[in-house]
């Protein structure tokens, strides 16, 4: 377990799925955590994580993101870690995708990550810190019927690299995590709607199973910690070997 005692962290989209697992892992590792999310925290979440501050935020809106960062950093007393995790899926034939749908996935998955990184970087430029972006294996390799999703996540991959080399002199590290298929409510919903076949997916994954949210959270803890102090501009695939596998 990485030691994040006395670190101050902001996680966007932290009330469910991968984001929630990261919040829980950071709290266990000793960090003070604030969550920025468009949803309202459930009683179960607040009961399980009473020390975590939850702030309403639309991360695709510059004013909302700036105000939420101001509030979070004031409560935390500063900022050491920012996880740009909030995102949405998009899975449909491209001929069925209208411009409004294209803009929606871009506004959340790409604009939202930029606004999160921009606000975090402004607050870290004098003291350094770690920014972690949730990309996807589909930002590294392509898939059909996901043109908006793949394009937005590929943008996140390049954003992490570009900011890493620009901000390295400020002591700000920027990395991305590229999850494969993760066992979340989102994946289960797509499977229920016939948009994913879990059996075929697991047959394609060399490790033979879906990734867990805790495994993504472990990667986020490592990248945020001093153990990764020389790591920046990298994309860490946590996909069970999916992107490495090119045989059948």
What is the model's pLDDT at position 187? 85
On whether residue 152 sits in a domain, the answer given is yes
What integer pLDDT is reported at residue 2 of this predicted model? 86
Alpha helices in the chain (DSSP H): 17-28, 43-48, 62-76, 99-106, 112-124, 147-167, 185-192, 198-204, 213-224
| Residue 245 in domain | no
Following CA atoms 55, 213, 236, 161 in sequence, which dihedral angle do they give, to the nearest 10 degrees? Answer: -20
Q: How would residue 186 be classed by pLDDT, with cut points 50, 70 and 90?
A: confident
182 and 242 Cβ atoms separated by less than 8 Å? no
Domain carrying residue 194 = 8-238
**In the predicted structure, residue 222 carries a pLDDT above the cut 90:** yes
27: Cβ–Cβ under 8 A, 6 or more apart, which residues? 33, 49, 51, 52
Answer whether residue 248 shows pLDDT above 80: no
CATH code (residue 118):
3.40.50.720
150 lies in a domain?
yes
Orientation angle between helical segments 62-76 and 112-124, nearest 10 degrees: 40
Domain assignment present for residue 103? The answer is yes
Q: Say how many C-beta atoms besides its own lie within 10 A of residue 130's C-beta.
A: 27
Strands in 81-84's sheet, in edge-to-edge order, are 53-56, 32-37, 8-12, 81-84, 129-134, 172-179, 235-238
Q: Is residue 2 part of a domain?
A: no
Within a domain: residue 47? yes
Choose between 187 and 87: higher pLDDT. Answer: 87
pLDDT digits (tens, 9 = 90+) for 56-114: 999 999 999 999 999 999 999 999 999 999 999 998 999 999 999 999 999 999 999 99
Question: What pLDDT is stored for residue 11 in this prediction?
Answer: 98
Question: What is the pLDDT, as a whole number, of residue 240?
Answer: 97
In this predicted structure, the answer to whether residue 188 has a pLDDT above a threshold of 90 is no
Q: Give the pLDDT confidence score for residue 182 in this predicted structure.
A: 96
Number of domains in the chain: 1
Mean predicted lDDT score pLDDT of the chain: 96
The catalytic site residues sit at 149
Confidence class of residue 151 from pLDDT cuts 50, 70 and 90?
A: very high
Q: Is residue 194 pLDDT above 90, yes or no?
A: no
Q: Which two tokens stand for residue 24?
A: 């829980």
Query: For residue 154, what pLDDT band results from cuts at 50, 70 and 90?
Result: very high
pLDDT digits (tens, 9 = 90+) for 4-28: 999 999 999 999 999 999 999 999 9
Rounded Cα distance between 69 and 79, Å, is 9
Contact 119, 65 (CB under 8 A): yes
Instruction: Please check whether residue 247 lies inside any domain of the structure.
Output: no
Q: pLDDT tier at 196 (50, 70, 90 boundaries)?
A: confident
Does 243 reside within a domain? Answer: no
Q: What is the pLDDT of residue 140?
A: 97
């Amino acid at each position: 377990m990485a030691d994040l005692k006395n670190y101050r962290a902001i996680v966007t989209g932290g009330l469910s799925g991968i984001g929630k697992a990261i919040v829980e892992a950071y709290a266990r590792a000793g960090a003070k955590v604030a969550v920025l999310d468009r949803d309202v925290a459930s009683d179960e979440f607040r009961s399980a994580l009473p020390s975590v501050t939850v702030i309403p935020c639309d991360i695709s809106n510059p004013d909302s993101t700036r105000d939420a960062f101001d509030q979070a950093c004031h409560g935390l007393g500063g900022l050491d870690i920012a996880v740009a995790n909030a995102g949405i899926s998009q899975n449909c034939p491209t001929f069925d995708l209208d411009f409004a749908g294209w803009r929606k996935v871009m506004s959340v998955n790409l604009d939202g990550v930029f606004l999160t990184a921009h606000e975090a970087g402004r607050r870290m430029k004098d003291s350094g810190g770690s920014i972690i972006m949730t990309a996807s294996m589909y930002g590294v390799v392509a898939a059909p019927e996901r043109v908006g999703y793949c394009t937005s996540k590929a943008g996140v991959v390049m954003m992490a690299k570009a900011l890493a080399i620009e901000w390295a002199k400020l002591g700000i590290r920027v990395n991305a995590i590229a999850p494969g298929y993760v066992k979340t409510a989102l994946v289960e919903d797509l499977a229920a709607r016939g948009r994913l076949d879990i059996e075929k997916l697991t047959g394609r994954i060399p490790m033979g199973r879906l990734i867990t949210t805790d495994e993504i959270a472990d990667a986020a803890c490592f990248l945020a910690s001093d153990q990764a102090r020389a790591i920046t501009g990298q994309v860490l695939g946590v996909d069970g070997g999916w992107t490495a596998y090119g045989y059948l």
